[in-house]
Amino acid sequence: MADSNGIENLAQNDRDKTVVLQEFFSSVFTIEPDNDFDKLPRRVNDQSKQMSDFNISQEKIEEKLHQTPVEYRKVTRPGLSSP
């Protein structure tokens, strides 16, 4: 977090961290008017196959996670897994 003189300081508490994140994210997003978007080109044609229905459940997710190699399941920091 930089002060008014441009000197970098570490965020020491939750409020400081919140301010840093808010300043960063507000600098990369823009405010756009509702319903005023360019029309995107169509990327599929009427002959395309439709995706079939599928179900997601906690059990299926856990099953897939257990099938993941151990080296991909190591957590390096809270909430972040290593690639």
Residue 39 lies inside a defined structural domain of this protein? no
In a domain, 2, yes or no: yes
What is the mean pLDDT of the segment spanning 60-83? 70
Taking the C-alpha atoms of residue 81 and residue 68, their distance in angstroms, rounded to an integer, is: 12
Can you tell me the distance from the alpha carbon of 28 to that of 43, in angstroms, rounded to the nearest whole number? 28
In a domain, 76, yes or no: no
The whole-model pTM stands at: 0.31
Angle at CA of residue 81, ends 76 and 83, nearest 5°: 105
Q: Is the pLDDT of residue 49 over 60?
A: yes
Show the DSSP H helices in the chain as ranges. Answer: 14-28, 58-67, 70-73
Q: Give the residue, 63 or 71, on which the prediction is more confident.
A: 63
Stretch (H or E) spanning 76: strand 75-77
79: which 2 tokens?
A: 């909430």
The whole-angstrom separation of Cα 58 and Cα 76 is 24
Report the number of distinct structural domains present in the chain: 1
At residue 74, the pLDDT reads: 64
Residue 77 located in a structural domain: no
- Domain that includes residue 18, residue range: 1-33
